[in-house]
Structure 1
Amino acid sequence: MRNTSKMTTLENRFPLLAVEHGCIISKDADITVAFEVELPELYTVTGAEYEAIHSCWCKAIKVLPDYSVVHKQDWFIKERYKPELQKDDMSFLSRSFERHFNERPYLKHTCYLYLTKTTKERNRMQSNFSTLCRGHIIPKELDRETTTKFLEACEQFERIMNDSGLVRLRRLSTDEIVGTEGKTGLIERYFSLMPEGDTTLQDIELSAREMRIGDNRLCLHTLSDAEDLPGKVATDTRYEKLSTDRSDCRLSFASPVGLLLSCNHIYNQYVLIDNSEETLQKFEKSARNMQSLSRYSRSNSINREWIDQYLNEAHSYGLTSVRAHFNVMAWSDDAEELKHIKNDVGSQLASMECVPRHNTIDCPTLYWAAIPGNAADFPAEESFHTFIEQAVCLFTEETNYRSSLSPFGIKMVDRLTGKPLHLDISDLPMKRGITTNRNKFVLGPSGSGKSFFMNHLVRQYYEQGAHVVLVDTGNSYQGLCGMIRRKTGGADGVYFTYTEDKPISFNPFYTDDYIFDVEKKDSIKTLLLTLWKSEDDKVTKTESGELGSAVSAYIERIQSDRSIVPSFNTFYEYMRDDYRKELAQRDIKVEKSDFNIDNMLTTMRQYYRGGRYDFLLNSTENIDLLGKRFIVFEIDSIKENRELFPVVTIIIMEAFINKMRRLKGVRKQLIVEEAWL
């Protein structure tokens, strides 16, 4: 009894025979090599770089033999952000950040490239000869020599693109194409149009009215006629939303149907390579026919002019004639949403100055031809003649922002969708040669969020083990410092500020381990000279040398006698009682004009016990700043004080230089608020 059912199994119609050594073999003896394409990030590419990418695509396509098909397939699938909450050492703020972005929708972009070698006959087949329309397909044999040459051309194609430094191709393995027991393959994903990781196969309904996969209904817009294209195409275009009068933000010409189209869709781009000379000869013949028929119809005369123009371009510049086709395949399981999607796709194509054509009749055959490895099944009547350079202009050339692989960095969000990203703005730019140091400068008008951003950055750097020294004006970091102090039980988070009740206080002579290196001694000497001399006074070599000797002698004394409390008070007493006597007993006398110790003691008396600023250098808290990882100097109330400000500045520098010299292999940050002032 004859089977009259309209249903059939996928196995009966399936056009692919096998996947061997990473190559997809079709039943019609077409061989396809599949690549995953890594494109540059959105909003990061300049006009010159878009030109370079375009040039690389053109060079690479010219390497392929005749009767090849270049099929670039960009997947844009809606997904939701899954927060990383499983880490044990996450702080409250890190956990809150992740929770805030839980289920945040975004468009995930993956790009694939299929290079297919087919035959002259297959390249000319129309939609009524599609494998979708045949009862059964008889497998054919591959030609060894043709296959070897094609695989060599594919390797050259890959090398040309990777050498550009902007686009990277990675050959897909057999497991990635067909899948494994635990992971969906690329071909299986295509038949379900599901996000990565979903292994549910759906039933497929094909008809002239609509096409359905599971609950999803497809809508297809095609660019398959030269009349539908704009009068002029370019490698890139100006993105007005992020551009100003003085700066340009560039996107690829086809970006409106890429990441800027916020729905589930696949953007298919085909370049079909025939024999260019043969094609041009056909056009020559067609032009002669049009010439002879021009007296009967003006349209024949116009068409002849267009063909002549095409031929002149080809011969003048040595251009390769190819056929091209582009389509946007979008889908939704909601009929109302599908209407909006149709309008969105149409308006995005119109923004490219293309005529949007909603295709229903050829939707099944175009869907079938877009199966990974089945590009040779593409219906010839859906393509138009052009040159490689113009065809490549309609490729999408950017992808989502990507998280840095580096373990060190900060959490930011994607500018387009608000999805969290991990960014390394310290090590990666140096590694790539973008910059030669890790210095950063945050510039913005009042209220633009400079301190807010720096709080975000500093907190994450601190949690990743960095030592932070902050010079603050306006208590911007008081809350963060207080949180760190509470979290560490007072072991970290030191906040220096000046108030009448508790004035700012240091002890530059104190260290936990009584180790004083050359920089530490020099910074103490510089501090004492600042206390003694005014800005206009000249410091002589004798004064500098004697004060340095006094500092070294005092340090030796406190190292040998631990009963002496290191502070400015005990140093002052040492200078007054011991060093002055030792100076007087020397064989070689030091004249007062060279080093006036009495003048020094008188000038610095105000910093000694009972003096006006006796609090400044005699802190009893004995905080060794070397071991503290988060230190804030709040200097708003003393920045105008001519006496205190220079001293505090020197102590800040001494604390940071001490960290720089002694803490090897540890990240250190010095952050100065209002650095402009």
Structure 2
Amino acid sequence: RTVLRGESSRKGADLLDIEEYLNEAHSQGLKSVRAHFNVMAWSDDAEELKRIKNDVGSQMASMGCVPRHNTTDCPTLFWAGIPGNAADFPAEESFHTFIEQAVCLFAGETNYKDSPSAFGIRMADRISGKPLHIDISDLPMKRGVTTNRNKFVLGPSGSGKSFFMNHLVRQYYEQGSHVVLVDTGNSYQGLCEMIHRKTKGKDGVYYTYTEDNPISFNPFYTEDKVYDIEKRESIKTLLLTLWKKDNEPATRAEEVALSNAVSQYIGRIKEDNSIVPCFNTFYEFIDTDYRKVLEDKKVREKDFDIASFLNVLEPYYKGGEYNYLLNSDKELDLLHKRFIVFEIDQIKEHAILFPVTTIIIMELFINKMRRLQGIRKMIIIEEAWKAIASANMASYVKYLYKTVRKYFGEAIVVTQEVDDIISSPIVKESIINNSDCKILLDQRKFMNRFDQIQGLLGLTEKEKSQILSINQSNDSSRRYKEVWIGLGGTQSAVYATEVSIHEYLAYTTEETEKMEVRELAGKLGSDMEAAIRQIAEKRMDEEK
């Protein structure tokens, strides 16, 4: 063991230095103290110890301190440093300084600490690998560090973004949360199938869009015929999205006319139980009763062009190309399923189906959010958020982000393209500004453009240096990737997402590994857990 001590002034200071010290103390009313600081370093290898001594010494020298290598009085210094033993401290091992400077040099021996909150996720210390329990949702809210639980996640392809998100949502689910995922890359298929088998089909529902079995909805249906402001707003936003294309904003007159149409249709279906709430009957209502209302009010065509509205929405009416989309005769059981994945990769390039499907899934989540009181719920929107980054959707996304906080919920947007967050004002105004928790993964691919990200996210220089240190010196003997988590602009740290080989195989997005697990699971009667266990044991034997 080696003890290193830094001195703030050279030995044998002359009288001028002493006089200057006393004058400064007297003129500014500073308190003088005796101080001693040391760095303890140890190693079983003599060469490594020599390197450590040199590294520590150079760092202390960069602070303006002169390091003294003491290898003989270690026991005495250690004993005297214990509270209550200061009388045995050697006088020659201390120096005079002011209390302000002494406090600046003092650093308590500590490391990342477990959160006292009962709720949280398991991460690891990036250096030691020590498991850590951290709460990035509830405790920051209670302490006033954040005002909402929403999260914004940025990480390029291959940075471990999907791996971290799998790790997070699994732990939230296991602590009772309701999780709804909108994905475009099969990132959560393995975890969803694991949950489905573990719950014997009661949970872990995986919806995917295919030509033979497309996802269909009925946004006009409610079980109890209660249409509160959130429900009405989501229907109006859906209709505007179907009607207006290429980010063309609706006029105030058009919004008012459409709001009135929705309100009057809702009033009609409440009065007449024979009317089946769906897009078909809404379309017919607009074409007949509401057309007469507009004529009686003498609403001009330039204020609300009903013919144009009906023409654009005709493909969703019976007999149209997309007549199945908004006229489902069955309800997706979102209310009681706690882990649901909507995988819509097949339609991510479809200009109509992609945004409509995304919006309706969000509306279904809002319905879950309103009805499940006192239960944590979260919606994770992966790259699908691009479908809603339009002028007509800005107010709706902002509304979702502000509303979810009131219902013990959180919205998480995940993206991998820096251009997306830089170029879209919708992302900045509606998503980033309403996400008090920001999570960034390895940003080395964006190194030359990080100043733009820093400005957009409002990161400090300290936070920037933390983020750019991610994965720079990882221990090759450990299976982990680092992640930066910032809370409310005041607290931030880098953690390691380190899991067992079993968990790794459940989350992996590598095609060859996924195929290996799925093929073996097929041979074992679709038992993914057994397949993962066998592959993990085989790999651990190979590593030995």
1:220/1:327 contact within 8 Å kept: no
SS of corresponding position for 1:441 = strand
- Seen in structure 2, the aligned counterparts of structure 1 residues 524 and 628 have a Cα distance that, compared at 3 Å, is farther
> How many angstroms does 1:547 deviate by?
4.5
One-letter amino acid matched to 2:269: Y
- C-alpha separation in 2, matches of 1:497 and 1:453: 22
How far off its partner does 1:349 sit?
Answer: 5.0
Relative to structure 1, the CA distance from residue 463 to residue 519 in structure 2 (aligned partners, 3 Å threshold; closer, same or farther) is: same
C-alpha distance 388-341 of structure 1, shift in aligned 2 (>3 A):
farther
Structure 1 pair 448–231 and aligned structure 2 pair: CA distance change class (3 A): farther
Q: What secondary structure sits across from 2:153 in the alignment? A: coil
2:137 corresponds, among 405, 426, 429, to 426
Where in structure 2 are the equivalents of 1:167-316 lying within 5 Å?
219=1, 221=3, 223=5, 229=7, 306-316=14-24
Q: After superposition, what is the alpha-carbon deviation per residue over 1:441-460, rounded to whole angstroms, capped at 9, x for unaligned?
A: 22233321222222222222
Residues 314 and 475 (structure 1), Cα distance of their counterparts in 2 relative to 1, 3 Å cut = same
Contact 1:403-1:421 within 8 A present in 2 as well:
yes
Q: How many Å separate the matches in 1 of 2:288 and 2:351?
A: 29
**RCO greater where, 1 or 2, for CA within 8 Å and sep 6 or more?**
2
Measured after TM superposition, the shift of residue 423 of structure 1 is: 1.0
The counterpart of 1:549, out of the listed 257, 260, 264, is 264
Contact 2:182 2:380 in 1 (8 A): yes
Q: Aligned to 1:374, which of 75, 81, 85? A: 85
What SS is found at the alignment partner of 2:114?
coil
Cα 1:553–1:525 change in 2 (3 A) is farther
Q: TM-score, normalised by structure 1?
A: 0.46
Q: For residues 455 and 542 of structure 1, do their structure 2 counterparts lie closer, same or farther at Cα, with a shift above 3 Å needed?
A: same
SS state at 2:345 partner? coil
Q: CA deviation at 1:571?
A: 5.6
Equivalent-residue separation in structure 1 for 2:352 and 2:190 (angstroms): 29
Seen in structure 2, the aligned counterparts of structure 1 residues 571 and 327 have a Cα distance that, compared at 3 Å, is closer
2:117 to 382, 406, 419: 406
Aligned position for 2:173: 462
Amino acid in structure 2 at the alignment position of 1:483:
M
1:147-199 Cα offsets, whole Å, 9 max, x none, are xxxxxxxxxxxxxxxxxxxxxxxxxxxxxxxxxxxxxxxxxxxxxxxxxxxxx
Contact 1:580 1:597 in 2 (8 A): no
Give 2:328's aligned amino acid.
S
**Alpha-carbon deviation of 1:222?**
6.3
1:35-57, Cα deviation, whole Å (9 max, x unpaired): xxxxxxxxxxxxxxxxxxxxxxx
Deviation at 1:610, TM superposition (A): 4.2
Of 45, 70, 74, 1:357 maps to: 70
Distance 1:606 1:314, change over 3 A: same
1:518 CA displacement? 3.9
| Match of residue 654 from structure 1 | 363
Deviations 1:240-280 (A, max 9, x none): xxxxxxxxxxxxxxxxxxxxxxxxxxxxxxxxxxxxxxxxx
Deviation sequence 1:118-143 (CA, Å, 0-9, x none): xxxxxxxxxxxxxxxxxxxxxxxxxx
How many correspondences in the alignment? 371
Q: Which residues of structure 2 form unaligned runs of 5+?
A: 62-66, 386-419, 422-544
Residue of structure 2 in register with 1:507 after alignment: 218
SS at match of 1:448: coil
Q: Aligned partners of 2:25, 2:239: CA distance in 1, in Å?
A: 77
Deviation string 1:558-584 (CA, Å, 9 cap, x unpaired) is xx46xx765445666x749xx948987
Distance 2:258 2:241 in 1: 12
Does the residue aligned with 1:523 lie in a helix, a strand or coil? helix
SS of residue matched to 2:231: helix
Q: Measured at CA, do residues 408 and 565 of structure 1 come closer, stay the same or move farther in structure 2, by a change above 3 Å?
A: same
Closer, same or farther in 2 for the Cα pair 1:508/1:489, shift >3 Å?
farther
1:434 shift after superposition: 3.2
Within 5 Å, give how 1:41-60 maps onto structure 2.
Answer: none
CA deviations 1:347-393 (Å, max 9, x no partner) are 4653334131211xx5565555455523223344x434422445555
> Structure 1's 330 and 596: CA in aligned 2 closer, same or farther, altered over 3 A?
closer
Contact 1:554 1:571 (C-alpha < 8 Å) held by counterparts: no
Looking at secondary structure, tell me which structure has more helix per residue: 2
Normalised by the length of structure 2, the TM-score is 0.56
Letter in 2 for 1:451: S
- Kept in 2, the 8 Å contact 1:583–1:590? The answer is no
Q: Describe the shift of the 1:496–1:570 C-alpha distance in structure 2 as closer, same or farther (beyond 3 A).
A: farther
CA 1:556–1:398 in 2, change beyond 3 Å: closer, same or farther? farther
C-alpha distance after superposition, 1:484-537 (max 9, x if no partner): 333334333343432222222222234444544343244335434654666768
Partner SS, residue 442 of structure 1: strand
CA distance in 2, matches of 1:378, 1:321: 18
> 2:199 maps to what in 1?
488
* Equivalent residue letter for 2:357: V
Q: What is the percentage of aligned positions where both structures have the same residue?
A: 58
The question of whether the paired residues in 1 share the 8 Å contact of 2:265 and 2:282 is answered with no
Corresponding residue for 1:387? Answer: 97
- 1:607 and 1:616 in contact (8 A); partners too: yes
SS at match of 2:3: strand
For the structure 1 residues 499 and 364, does the alpha-carbon distance in structure 2 shift closer, same or farther, using more than 3 Å as the test? Answer: closer
- 1:4-43 correspondence to structure 2 within 5 Å: none
Q: Residue in 1 aligned with 2:322?
A: 613
User: Which residues of structure 1 form unaligned runs of 5+?
Assistant: 1-218, 233-301
Going from structure 1 to structure 2, the CA distance change for 1:349 and 1:470 (only over 3 Å counts) comes to closer
Asked whether the equivalents of residues 546 and 595 of structure 1 are also in contact (C-alpha less than 8 Å), the reply is: no
Q: Which residues of 2 match residues 620-631 of structure 1 at below 5 A?
A: 620-631=329-340
| d(CA) in 1 for partners of 2:33, 2:304 | 90
